[in-house]
Amino acid sequence: MLLAFERPAIDWHAVAPEIVLLSVGVFITLLDILFLEKARPYMAALSGLGILATAIPLLTLGIDGTERVLFDGAYVVDNFSLVLKAIFLLAGYVVILLSTNYIVDGDYWESEYYGLLLASLMGMIMMASSRDLISVFVALELLSIPAYLMVAWRKRDPKSNEAGLKYYLMGVFASAVMLYGMSLLFGVSGTTVLSEIADSINAGNGSSSVMTLGIVFVVAGFAFKVSAVPFHTWAPDVYEGAPTPVTAFLSVASKAAGFVALLALIFVGFYELSNIWEPLIWILAALSMTVGNLVALRQTNIVRLMAYSGVAQTGFMIAPLAVAGHSLATGDQALSAIITYLAIYAAMNLGAFAVIITLARRTGSAEIDSFSGAFHFAPGLTVAMTIFLFSLAGIPPLGGWFAKFEVFRVLATSGETWGYLLAVVAAINSVIALFYYATIARKMWADDPSESDLNTVEITPSLISALAICVLVTLLFGIFPQLVARFTEVSLLASGV
Amino acid sequence: MENLLDSWGLTVATFSPLVGALVMFLIPKEKEYEHKMIALITSLWVAFVGLMLLIWFDLNATDKLQYVVDKSWIQAIHSRYVVGLDGISLPLLLLTVLIVPLCIVYSWNHFPDPKNPKTFLILILVLETGMIGTFVAQDMVLFFVFFEVVLLPMFFMIAVWGGPNRKYASLKFFLYTLFGSALMLVSFLSLFFLTGAESFVFSEIADNVVAHTVSRTAQLWIFGGMFLGFGIKVPMFPFHTWLPDAHTEAPTVGSVILAAVLLKLGTYGFVRIAIPLLPDAAVEWAPWIGLLAVIGIIYGAFCCLAQTDMKRLIAFSSVAHMGFVMLGISTLTDFGINAAIMGMVAHGLITGMLFFLAGSMKERYHTLEIKRLGGLLIQAPKMGWVLGFCAMASLGLPGLAGFWGEFPAILSAYNPANGLPVETFRTFMVVAALGTVLAAGYLLWLLQRSAFGTPKEEFADDPNIHDATKTEWVAWAPLLALILAIGIYPNLVFRATDAAVDASLTPCLTIDADKATHEEIESAHCSDVYGLGDHGSDHHAVSKG
């Protein structure tokens, strides 16, 4: 019997963003091969333009607004995926702005760097549409493998090499655990498409203990990716060792990608089994917030501090999931809250890293003490950093308050004691977090500079653009939260249940 | 004019300072004179808008919100931009718009180190936006946002321009307040969801609390969260420890704003939100609030007696005075809460003035250690008299503003609202009255040690010590005049607050169980915490028999 392969129908409009991004990536790689050093100065600009070009089909898809299902439900382009793709692209664009001078100054390979960055970004925007265990896994690997390389990009620095190896080993281990979990899910339900897994659960397979084990493994695998306690141990070392723009990329985009997959799995796949994942998430959230914040208190290196604060922020982001199974309405709200948080977090965290990169260029150190008195030699950067830090702490009227507010809102709306309890844990944690954020701000404003050199800091145009974007977004989202809220009101549950 | 005020008045008053701050942000910091002028003009403009709001304010309907603006803000969470002004907000709004220009005038020629007038003035203007916004917001989320906006500028004011221990003090201030407000936010949200209200607007939440009767336990917890949020801000014993540190370290202007306005945000929160929205829970919490209030009065007074630093002494006197305010509030009566608002205004004027004086003395003596001071009346007689005047006002001398804050608050505890334990509150009354004696003690002692006698040797011939300057008089005169004016004619404040306070309290609290008819009590639908059910029917039976 002849096995005839029939190409499934492809909605070209739906996959246009992926195709554009892929073409740009290929184009850049070809340029590098053909022109070698001559092409080098144009790489950053070309990648940036490529990302902007990718945004065009995204816009047309958004205006069109219909939900497009491809490959028998394995790949879906809906509002949820569009919003996240937009977040990924914007974050990727800012990371390119951050990288521009850093990579040149360090005399690192440049063309390859941007090629890898685009490849990783490609994995992320695929992740946003994946609704199938296999496409989720492929997207995950596509976004992770380039990231392993980029972490080790400062090849003459042993710390960077150590970080790369650590990240690689931990990442592969997490992938393996997750893959095992996926195989269990497949074994029970007999399908890899998430919505069909949901059907299988509804049909009575949900009570199987193998299913439970599968869910626990998959959630644990993504907990690695989003660096939730107790799966966070790789983060500080990797963040510290990696080139700082890559750290920014990991802490925002890569984390968001992990969240996206987790959301798709939970909401589309096993929403009905909330009795399994809700307690799991509750523990992860409470632990991440508390441990992340408490350890962050003791840090002296700002990048490590940002790593631990990122762990704590993960705890906040994941918290709404702990009550998402309460009702469909709560589930939708939890989803919106997490996406809102991701969008605002992307702006403020990238902004904070932009300031760190700029200041570290001058001080040559990432020790918090080297930022003392920054107000005297870099007033503009100090104001920007203050905005980002207090936004991260959730102080109105800066963007972060609305993100935190949304989390509290979901936790309170469930009306369950567990929800209130987590809200109180979160409230206490926002105070702890404020302590170290405010300490940094206070050092920058009130302390005397450690050096006598009071020359102002030179800021490159690309860094200025990155900072301007982040400050603007952080302020606008804080004062007019409706700007972000109208886009994040999306739902995955209609198709899931 | 009236139409313009109706639709724009409050919004302009709230955001004008922010516009001024933005303009200043764009001007390079070397142009100090321009910065000062812009800040002054902005704050005077806001004061002018405040004055217009007062002139067009309908004083015969102070219980109604006026100048209401209701616009869509964050649809996704049903929060709206709703601002309005009633008799409770009006005096506090006016206090704010008065204090800020005075602070800018006062700092005109003596900015604390490290100078940088640009940033300092920008912070003051941002602070003003937050303060005005809090007093006019009528939506919980909007209120929360403004309530928090004041934190950042004050944090930086203390952390950058403060005294030697400024780092510790600024962080402590920030952390304490944020802790309270985070729990307050959780309370707001729970209340919103438990009532099933359509929006966060106060009036709507209040209606829904009445209609849906949130369970008693939930109300108690929610009130507890708000109590922490507002109580820390007031600050009430035992959450007051941030206050002496913050006051002592803050620059003069920071202390003035902190004492005059920021502390009032907490008490205002009780009067505006906690009590009107959750009256049943308020009744159960009130005895505890009253207890903490009188502990604050006595404890604050004793701490004052033990202080060696003048500024710290004034800070602790704030704890005691805010205790009187909270005692008035805890009676849940029309009388007590009116007294409390009067107390807020009076404390704002008097303690603000005392901090101005402390700042001026610090500038002259370079110390505020009381035992090194003395003979102010000889070296700077006018300042000495002003200090005496303020000390008298602060200890509650009849004829000055302080009296009308303290005396009615004490008196109101004699007859607390329905459902409150009368004996307990009468005990509080006696203890609070003792507190006034202690207040007289520490204030007169302060006056005696710092103003009377002869100057200490080290300062005897110090040319630096001179009498009040012109800018100081400009900054002080309005406050001194108001302390006297309100003291002589307290109706200036009571006229605005009385009807508004009455309207904010549920009839259950204020009904006179002995005189009201059975029907009146029935129609109020009071829950059993007010103890009206039995009493009312007894009365009915008796009158029938």
User: pLDDT digits over A162-209, tens only?
Assistant: 999 999 999 999 999 999 999 999 988 888 888 888 888 888 877 778
Of B29, B145, B156, the CB nearest to A445: B156
How many C-beta neighbours within 10 Å does residue B458 have? 10
Count of residues for chain B?
545
B529 band by pLDDT with thresholds 50, 70 and 90: confident
- pLDDT of residue B517 exceeding 80: no
What lies within 8 Å, CB to CB, of A66 at 6+ separation is none
What's the pLDDT score for residue A307? 93
| Per-residue model confidence as pLDDT tens digits over A335-358 | 999 999 999 999 999 999 999 988
pLDDT digits (tens, 9 = 90+) for A255-267: 999 999 999 999 9
Instruction: Report CB contact under 8 Å: A442, B74.
Output: no
Average pLDDT rounded to a whole number, residues B167-188: 89
pLDDT at A295 over 50: yes
User: Residue A140 in contact with residue A87, Cβ under 8 Å?
Assistant: no
Distance CA A138, CA A71 (A): 15
Question: Residue type at A224?
Answer: F
> Residue B540 has what pLDDT?
43
Give contacts of B193 with chain A, Cβ < 8 Å: 412-413, 415
The C-alpha of A386 sits at a distance from chain B's nearest C-alpha, in angstroms, of 10
Tokens matching residue B184: 């307050």
Q: Is the pLDDT of residue B47 over 80?
A: yes
Is the pLDDT reported for residue B213 higher than 80? no
Per-residue pLDDT at A2 = 64
Mean pLDDT of B72-83: 88
User: Given pLDDT bands bounded at 50, 70 and 90, which one contains residue A496?
Assistant: very low
Percent of chain A with pLDDT over 90: 43
Mean pLDDT of B59-78: 87
Please name the residue of chain A whose CA is at the shortest distance from the CA of residue B191.
A412
Q: Give domain limits for chain A.
A: 270-497
Q: Which residues of B touch A379 (CB under 8 A)?
A: 29
Q: Which residue of B has its CA nearest to A426?
A: B182
Token digits of residue B71: 């616009």
Binding-site residues on chain B for chain A (CB distance < 8 A): 29, 72-77, 141, 144-146, 148-149, 151-152, 155-156, 159-160, 166-167, 170-171, 174-175, 178-179, 182-183, 185-186, 189-190, 192-194
Residue A225 identity (one-letter amino acid): K
Query: Is pLDDT of A106 > 90?
Result: no
Q: How far apart are CA A228 and CA A286, in angstroms?
A: 10
**Residue B519: pLDDT band with limits 50, 70, 90:** confident
- Please answer whether residues A23 and A83 qualify as being in contact, where contact means their C-beta atoms are separated by less than 8 angstroms: no
Q: In the numeric block, which tokens belong to residue B257?
A: 């704003």
Q: Which two tokens stand for residue A162?
A: 């150590």
Q: Which residues of A touch B145 (CB under 8 A)?
A: 396-397, 401
Q: Which of A396, A446, A485 sits opposite B160 (nearest CB)?
A: A446
Q: Closest by alpha carbon to B99, among B124, B133, B63? A: B124
pLDDT (mean) for B321-350: 93
CA distances from B394 to A33, A212, B93, B340, B398 (A): 82, 68, 22, 15, 10
Degrees (nearest 5) of the Cα angle A116, A118, A119?
Answer: 60
pLDDT score of B128 more than 90: yes
Pick the residue from chain A with its C-alpha nearest to B176: A431
* Averaged confidence pLDDT in chain A: 88
ipTM over 0.90: no
Residue A73, sorted as left (phi over 0), alpha (psi -120 to 50) or beta, turns out to be left
Q: What is the pLDDT of residues B362-380, one digit of tens each?
A: 888 888 888 888 888 888 8
Structure tokens at A467: 């900072």
pLDDT score of B523 more than 80: no
Give A396: exposed, middle or buried? Use CB within 10 Å, 0-12, 13-18, 19+. Answer: buried
Instruction: Indicate the pLDDT class of residue B544, thresholds 50, 70 and 90.
Output: very low
Q: What is the pLDDT of residue A230?
A: 87
Q: Which residues contact B534 (CB under 8 A, 6 or more apart)?
A: none
Average pLDDT over residues B469-498: 92
- Closest partner residue to A408 (CB to CB) among B159, B175, B186 is B186
Instruction: Compute the 3-state secondary structure of chain A and give helix, strand, coil in percent, each to the nearest 5.
Output: 80, 0, 20
Query: pLDDT class for A308, splitting at 50, 70, 90?
Result: very high
Query: What pLDDT shows up at residue B536?
Result: 44
Give the nearest partner residue to A442 out of B149, B167, B178, using CB atoms.
B167
Q: Residue ranges of the alpha helices (H) in A190-273?
A: 194-202, 209-225, 234-241, 244-249, 255-263
d(CA A42, CA A161): 27
Torsion sign, CA atoms B317, B322, B323, B324: positive
**What residues of chain B lie within 8 A of the CB of A488, using their CB?**
76
pLDDT category, A453, cuts 50, 70, 90?
low
Q: CA B386, CA B13: separation in Å to the nearest integer?
A: 32
Interchain CB distance below 8 Å, A405 and B75: no
A434:B178 CB<8 A:
yes
Please indicate if any CB of chain B lies within 8 Å of the CB of A415: yes
Q: Which is nearest to A62 in space by CA: A497, A494, A490? A: A490
- Which tokens in the block code for residue B19? 């516009």
Q: Is A395 in Cβ contact with B178 (below 8 Å)? A: yes
> For tokens 């049909």, what's the residue?
A203
Interchain contact, A435 vs B175, CB within 8 Å: yes
* pLDDT at residue A451 in the model: 64
Eight-class DSSP state of A448: P
State the Cα–Cα distance between residues A77 and B435, nearest whole angstrom: 70
Give the lowest-confidence range in A329-333, B227-231, B273-277, B540-544.
B540-544
Residue B534: which pLDDT band, with cuts at 50, 70 and 90?
low
A412 to chain B, any CB pair closer than 8 A? The answer is: yes
> A261 or A66, which is more confident?
A261
Say whether residue A27 is in contact with chain B using an 8 A CB cutoff: no
Partners of B194 on chain A (C-beta within 8 Å) are 415
Nearest CA distance, A128 vs chain B (angstrom): 23
Chain A hits for B166, CB-CB cut-off 8 Å, are 446
* Cα distance between residue A217 and residue A277, in whole Å: 11
Distance of alpha carbon B79 from alpha carbon B65, whole angstroms: 18
Q: How many helices (H) and strands (E) does chain A have?
A: 21, 2
Q: Does pLDDT of A1 surpass 60? A: no
Distance from CA of B180 to the nearest CA of A (A): 9
For residue B146, the one-letter residue type is: F
How many residue pairs from chains A and B have C-beta atoms closer than 8 A? 98
Residues 6+ positions from A225 with CB-CB distance below 8 Å: A140, A144, A171, A174, A254, A255, A257, A258, A261
- In eight-state DSSP terms, residue B374 is -
Angle at B385 between CA B383 and CA B386, to 5 degrees: 65
Interface probe for B, chosen from A414, A442, A454 (most Cβ of B below 10 Å), is A442
> Residue B76 and residue A434: Cβ atoms within 8 Å?
no
Identify the closest residue of chain B to A477 by CA–CA distance. Answer: B74
CA–CA distance, B344 with B342 (Å, rounded to integer): 5
* Partners of residue B162 on adjacent β-strands: none
Residue B21 distance to chain A (closest CA, Å): 14
Q: Does A397 touch chain B (CB under 8 A)?
A: yes
Share of chain A above pLDDT 70, in %: 97
Q: Which two tokens stand for residue B23?
A: 């303009």
pLDDT tens digits along B402-443? 999 899 999 999 989 888 899 999 999 999 999 999 999 999
Touching check for A349 and chain B: CB below 8 Å?
no
CA distance A446 to chain B (A): 5
Chain B residue numbers touching A426 (CB-CB < 8 A): 182
pLDDT for residue B537: 44
